[in-house]
Structure 1
Amino acid sequence: MSSLPRRVLHPLVLLASSLLSAFHTWPLLANLKGHVAGGREDVLMNMWHLWWMRQAVTGLKNPFFAPMLHWPLGAELYWHTLSPAKTLWGVVLLPFMRVETAYNLVLFGTFVVTGYTAWLLLDYLLRRGGFEPNLAAVAALAGACVFNFSRYHHSHAIAHLNLSALEGIPLYLYFFLRWLDEGKRKWLVGVALAALYTLLCDYYYLLYIALFSFLWVVAERWRRGPLLSPDTLKDEGTRRAGVAALVAGLACVPPVVPLLLHAFPAPLAIHHGDSDYFTDLYAFFIPDTLSGWSESLPAWMQEFTTGVVRGKMSGNAEEAGTYLGWLTLLLAAFALWRGVPNGRRWAGLGLGFAVLSMGTVLNINLTDKLSPAVLLVAATLVVGWAPAWRGRTWHRDVVALLAVCSLLSLRTPLTAFEQPLLVQIPMPYVVFKHVVPLFSRGGMPVRFELLTTLALSVLVAFAAAHLGRTMSARGAAAGLGVALAVALVPNMEYLGKPMPMPQLPRLPPIFDEIRYAPMPAAVFTDNVLGQWEQIYHQKPVSFARLSRLPVREAEMLEQRIFRALEGWNGLAGEVTPEEREEMQRFLKDNHFRWYVSHIYHPMRHRFVTEVLGGELAYQDNYVSVYRFP
């Protein structure tokens, strides 16, 4: 069978990616207007990002400083998930459609483009591995489905536009590996542009690809000799990797410099600490609560997945999307058995990042206090599997001894002072976060599972190619059909529930009064809904939903009026006449004419009316609006 021309193949892959993305995100395309994918508070913030990027670009303003948030001070958006590579689409789309429609389309586009860039990488690896072009193209589609429709991607799509933008990672690796293999200048240009694009999607993803590249090059150097050797600097692969790092670094200088200039004093990680979310060992093998299979699980599995979200993930279901599958993992094992170029490297990187994703201590079945028997089991597996030790005279005896000790320790609990001995088992991330820059300032270990999924996608692509090659003895069409059938495995195992598409609130007529009021006029508000409402009324607001809070803004938010109207801390206690006068003067001097509250409480109502002198102008189940004199 003759190979399809590349100019035909690429549109076909984009079409297939579009159709599969429509299936996995349904009913997104059927609810583009008046509804928004996910509906979480981060989604409301991301819609504001699209609107703000249009305001900044068309008004020739700095997009990383929003004077109309945290009024009257303004909000810095440097250490914030602004994701310019995605939100710049607001400049193009918003003149022609509503902001929620634009957001839904941009989110949908992350699935379409991720499928295509993952296919580019995998198709290249398969053709480099000696597979026939048509078979490589079809098998690469199977692997691309693993990465694109992973539970990680599905889960973050309901909340995090920046983390849903996965397309830059395989695109960068495609250019990086081609540059290492061929040394052509066009691939080096691709490395630089892909690194910059990845950075503009999410800052941490740049660190991910840098770490992946470094480990890849180290492994490649070890294959030819020791790393600490004079020959390392003479090695062509090492030199090319150094050039790639230099060029990618230079390309990323413009957006990185402002980050560094605003890194001190360190912004406050108000939403996530340095190691909040981690993967439980069971979570690799049990579908999460957002999975289409979650309601079909046995009761104990459903209880586990619910416990992960409520207990370990603090209600953030998107962080629990670490399920790797069962048949998908078997396909990866099959590929390693049949042979994958650099297969041990891909498997090692995948396992390594899975271990990092487990956070600072090992968790099994929602427990971080474990029997030391776990260490014995791990030692048995490592010694038994380690290729370097196979064939040694002592290998079989040591493995047998370790296996017996493991079985006995599992059968009879290990004790100390007549009590079961339970310990916390530290994991590599506890050291990693202090060695690798920036991860101690809010790195999320659980998200390293994404790179495990990337390695898994490579192995599955080779599994599909091997199965297709075996069946091609019966005809080329049969081989392609089998390779395509492999794609059904991840598409079914990673199937999610229908994309939640809640309807956006309909703003009451009081917002027309705010919109058409002459400037200067500002709105005090209490949460991210008030920030989203700014898209309509376009008046300065007191609130800003920020990933990390600059210290200068934190000082303003500590004022009692902010603590009372945004939260509850400032409501209790006596208000002196001096405090009352000071707060009323603050409202008047900064032109706050309305207070929009989305959580009604009698104490807050009394505070606004009796202390601040506001009057209730409108109230319904959605909002309470007060006017200030």
Structure 2
Amino acid sequence: MRASAVRLALVFLTYVLVFVAWSWPLAAHLSSAFPALADQDGYMQLWNVWHFREAVFSGQNPFYSNWLLFPDGASLWLHTYIPIAGMVNVFIGNEMLALNLTLAAEYALSGTGAWLLARRWLRQPALVWLVGLFFAFSPYKTVRLPYHFDLVLTATVPFYILAFLDAFWFEPGRFWPQVRSWKAVVLCFVLGVITLFSDYYVLFALIYFSLGYAAWFWLRLGSINWRHRRAWLVLAAGLAVSHFGIRLLRLVKVPDNSGFWWGGDLAGYFIPAENSRWLDFAWARQLYHDPRIYNMPGSVENVMFLGYAVPLVCLLAAFWPARPASQRHQDPQGRPLAWVLLFFVLLTLPALRVLGHVKLNLPTSLLHFVPFFNNIRCPTRWVLMVSLLLPIVGFGALEAAWDAARRPVARGLLSGLLLVVVAVEFWPVAPPLDSSRTLPAAFQAVAKLPGETLFTLPFGLIDGYQQVGKVELRNFLYQPYYRKKLPSAYISRVDAQQFAHFQADTVMRTLLALQRARPDTTFTPPSVAAALRFRQRYQPAVVLISPGWRNSLAHRYLRSVFPDFSERNFPDGYALMAPAKALAALPPE
């Protein structure tokens, strides 16, 4: 038992070292920097980590905030909130350190869990370890490191599958499984709750795995004889019916919540991600940014790359002549995994699209027409599960093909070579880092000024479906230090009434229009009553103008809203508007 624990700890440590190496120099700045790209979601999610602790220590509901969207605030239950990292921050008190430790642990635990799952059916140590690397550090995850922290919180996935297999025993044709271990059932529930507080896409991955696995037994898929022509004819007929049926649903405009728009392209499996250190080819960048192929050229949502070596080796092993059945295939619990793998591949492609051309509407895309389920509208994210199941299924076939060779040294060398090749394919460039430790002078001044609210220019409101105005996410990075509430917000789900409030207020509506107006546009200053309503509702104690917006139409309009405010300009381009007495009390620059 002790030896197993030591071995598990060593495996965990190896994946920690991979994270350190592939994200360096992040490990040298764990408490003072974090992975971030300008104006991307990372800033919002670091704010999440800070806000959770702030709310807990102030006795407030951590799933509601008026630090953004002041004064009304908004619920954070449907926000990509990553409360699991916020809980870590409750004990640490440093949002960057809490976030970075959570990320390192999630990557390493993802690898360790996949390693444990792979050991159930694989024997070659290098291949088992490679399964963990493939899942934990796939391009899908490394490219998202500075973008979407929530989507890399995948540590629960392999542990859930292990617990699920220990908990239930399915039999073909029976709907309800037998419970083998209630302790494992409880563990499944606990892991589900942890996943709920990590990311809802990953939670749905667990749900879809469970349903896909059970469907193999419910539909008796294991009893289909694919050597008979009838099975293929039924499959072809089913695909034809689903293709035209789904096409009809789209023609009559049944809502799919943009699931097809966000759907992947088959070419995405073969186009290296832009963060690849060794495979960032010019042709790959050209395809990745081609609007004829992708609806959102250059988006990380297009990344589905799994390398070339593992898919090729798995394909060769699967069709190796006279290959015996793999150990996984002989295991009644492991046999459905090939079907579940196919299920997740199909989920990534609602429509079988090749270089932008739709060839076939796949039956799995029906989920995008089902309310509630169609909230999962970025299908390419299911490559997460493909990256776990593909090496387990494929390496099982590879080991079965090798068994006839009886050359253990050669098997070990080839496994090691495959590991090296995958490391080259997956090795990313270091993610860009940012920090709030170097606070711009304008934000230092905001922190010293009295009052509760900061109004920024530009300003706006963004959720997952619509956007008005513009939100500079770096303002959220500094909020823990200047500690003033913002009318602007970027929250995953916002009540439509909040957008209506922006449009109902004369000053807000005019500012939104002026932010996107031509420079030669003329405007009428607000009435005294309109300016007073705006100031009473939003209570701005200070106005911060970003460098690119100084002397803009919106800036000039704000001067008419705050005729009693004075201005101070800063060398880096920022400008502050505040009462003259408050500005005079600030120390000289």
TM norm structure 2: 0.78
Letter in 1 for 2:361: P
* Amino acid paired to 2:83: P
Instruction: Note if 1:151 corresponds to 2:133.
Output: no
Of 550, 574, 577, the residue aligned with 1:626 is 577
Alignment correspondent of 1:54: 53
Alignment match, 2:275: 290
Name the counterpart of 1:349.
340
The answer to which of 587-596 and 190-199 deviates more is 587-596
Which residue matches 1:67?
66
Shift of 1:542: 1.1
Task: Give the match for residue 408 of structure 1.
Answer: none
1:378 — aligned with what?
none
Separation in 2 of the partners of 1:483 and 1:47? 39
Matches within 5 A, 1:213-362: 213-223=210-220, 273-295=258-280, 297=281, 299-307=282-290, 311-316=294-299, 318-336=300-318, 337=320, 338=323, 339-340=325-326, 341-342=328-329, 345-359=336-350, 361-362=351-352
Q: Return the offset for 1:310.
A: 9.6
Query: Which residue type is aligned with residue 93 of structure 1?
Result: I
Q: Which residue of 2 aligns with 1:168?
A: 156
Does residue 119 (structure 1) correspond to residue 115 (structure 2)? The answer is yes
The yes-or-no answer on 1:432 pairing with 2:432 is no
List per-residue Cα deviations over 1:583-602 (Å, max 9, x = no partner).
34422454311122334152
Question: Are 1:514 and 2:496 matched, yes or no?
Answer: no
| Distance of 1:549 and 1:145 partners within structure 2 | 37
1 CA distance for matches of 2:67 and 2:348?
Answer: 38
Alignment partners' CA distance in 1, 2:343 and 2:220: 18
When residues 429 and 467 of structure 1 are mapped into structure 2, their CA distance, relative to the original with a 3 A threshold, is: closer
Give 1:159 deviation, angstroms.
Answer: 0.6
Secondary structure of the 2:490 match is coil
Inter-partner Cα distance in structure 1 for 2:272 and 2:12: 28
- 1:31–1:501 CA contact under 8 A, matched in 2: no
SS in 1 for 2:443: helix
State the 1:163 CA deviation.
Answer: 0.4
1:597 and 2:579 aligned: no
C-alpha separation between the residues in 1 aligned to 2:166 and 2:498? Answer: 45
Contact 1:115 1:144 in 2 (8 A): yes
1:110 aligned partner: 106
Partners of 1:486 and 1:463 lie apart in 2 by 15
Residue 346 (structure 1) shift: 2.9
1:4-55 residue CA offsets vs partner (Å, 9 max, x unmatched): 9312211111111111222222332134354321334311111111111111
After superposition, the Cα gap between the structure-2 partners of 1:568 and 1:100, relative to the gap in structure 1 and judged at 3 Å, is farther
SS in 2 for 1:616: strand
2:69 is paired with a residue of what secondary structure? Answer: coil
The answer for the alignment partner of 1:489 in structure 2 is 421
Tell me what 2:535 maps to. Answer: 587
Q: Secondary structure at the match of 1:85?
A: helix
- Considering Cα pairs closer than 8 Å and 6+ residues apart, tell me whether 1 or 2 has the greater RCO: 1
The CA deviation string for residues 163-186 of structure 1, in whole angstroms up to 9 with x for no partner, is 011112212111101212581222
C-alpha contact (below 8 Å) 1:283/1:320 kept by paired residues: yes
Which residue number corresponds to residue 188 of structure 1? 185
Read off the aligned partner of 2:42 and give its amino acid letter.
Answer: V
2:242 corresponds to which residue? none
- Counterpart of 2:53 in 1: which secondary structure? helix
Most deviating of 154-163 and 485-494: 485-494
How many pairs were matched up? 510
Q: In structure 1, what residue type is equivalent to 2:205?
A: Y
Structure 1 window deviating more from structure 2 (8-17 vs 23-32): it is 23-32
Displacement of 1:154: 1.0
Q: In structure 2, do the counterparts of structure 1 residues 74 and 347 end up closer, same or farther at CA, with 3 Å as the change threshold?
A: same
Deviation, structure 1 residue 210 = 1.1
Structure 1 position 451 matched with structure 2 position 385: yes
Unaligned runs of 5+ residues in structure 2 are: 170-178, 225-255, 460-470, 581-589
| Equivalent residue for 2:484, pick from 517, 539, 544 | 539
Q: Does the 8 Å CA contact 1:124/1:174 hold for their aligned counterparts?
A: no
1:240-298 deviation line (CA, Å, top 9, x unaligned):
xxxxxxxxxxxxxxxxxxxxxxxxxxxxx9xx954442222211112122222343x3x
Select the structure that is richer in helix. Answer: 1
Q: Secondary structure at the match of 1:201?
A: coil
Q: What's the CA shift for 1:514?
A: 2.6
Distance 1:308 1:16 in 2: 40
Contact 1:331 1:463 (8 Å CA) reproduced:
no
Shift of 1:459: 2.4
* 1:188 Cα deviation after fit: 1.4
What is the alpha-carbon distance in structure 2 between the residues aligned to residue 49 and residue 65 of structure 1?
11
> Which residue is equivalent to 1:498?
430
Query: Aligned partners of 1:176 and 1:622: how far apart in 2?
Result: 56
Relative to structure 1, the CA distance from residue 275 to residue 504 in structure 2 (aligned partners, 3 Å threshold; closer, same or farther) is farther
Gaps of 5+ in 1: 228-268, 375-424
Counterpart Cα distance in 2 of 1:586 and 1:208: 45
Equivalence for 1:78:
77
Alignment-mate amino acid for residue 100 of structure 2? N
Match of 1:552 in 2: 497
Greater CA drift, 494-503 or 561-570:
561-570
Q: Structure 2 vs 1, CA of residues 350 and 112 (structure 1 numbering), >3 Å: closer, same or farther?
A: same
Q: Structure 1 CA distance, aligned partners of 2:531 and 2:402?
A: 73
- Cα offset for 1:524? 4.1
Change (3 A) 1:22 1:512: closer
Q: Does 1:140 align with 2:91?
A: no
* Alignment counterpart, residue 206 of structure 1, candidates 203, 217, 226: 203
2:24 paired residue number = 26
Q: 1:536 to 1:479 in 2, by over 3 A?
A: same
Q: 1:183 to 1:177 in 2, by over 3 A?
A: same
Tell me the distance in 2 between the aligned counterparts of 1:522 and 1:117: 45
CA 1:335/1:362 → structure 2, altered by over 3 Å: closer, same or farther? closer
Q: Is the 8 A contact 1:117 1:170 kept in 2?
A: yes
Secondary structure of 2:569's counterpart equals strand
Query: Which residue number in structure 1 is paired with residue 92 of structure 2?
Result: 93
Quote the Cα distance in structure 2 between the aligned partners of 1:432 and 1:353. 13
Structure with higher strand content: 2
Contact map agreement 1:334 1:463 (CA 8 A) in 2: no
Question: In the TM superposition, what whole-angstrom CA distance separates every residue of 1:439-477 from its partner, at most 9, and x where no partner exists?
Answer: 4335211212222222213124436755886787557xx
| Distance in 2, Cα, partners of 1:154 & 1:165 | 12
CA 1:197 to 1:617, structure 2 compared with 1: closer, same or farther past 3 Å?
Answer: same
What does residue 562 of structure 1 align with? Answer: 508
| 1:606 paired residue number | 556
| Code of the aligned partner of 2:113 | T
The whole-number CA distance in structure 2 between the counterparts of 1:500 and 1:47 is 15
Q: 1:304 to 1:454 in 2, by over 3 A?
A: same
For residue 433 of structure 2, give the secondary structure of its aligned residue in structure 1: coil
CA-CA distance at 1:489 after TM superposition: 3.4
Aligned counterparts of 1:439 and 1:623: Cα–Cα separation in 2: 45
DSSP 3-state at the match of 1:89: helix
Greater mean deviation of Cα atoms: 544-553 or 62-71: 544-553
- The answer (yes or no) to whether the contact 1:287–1:293 under 8 Å persists in 2 is no
8 A Cα contact 2:301 2:381, kept in partner: yes
C-alpha distance in structure 2 between counterparts of 1:201 and 1:309, whole Å: 35
8 Å contact kept, 1:563–1:569: no
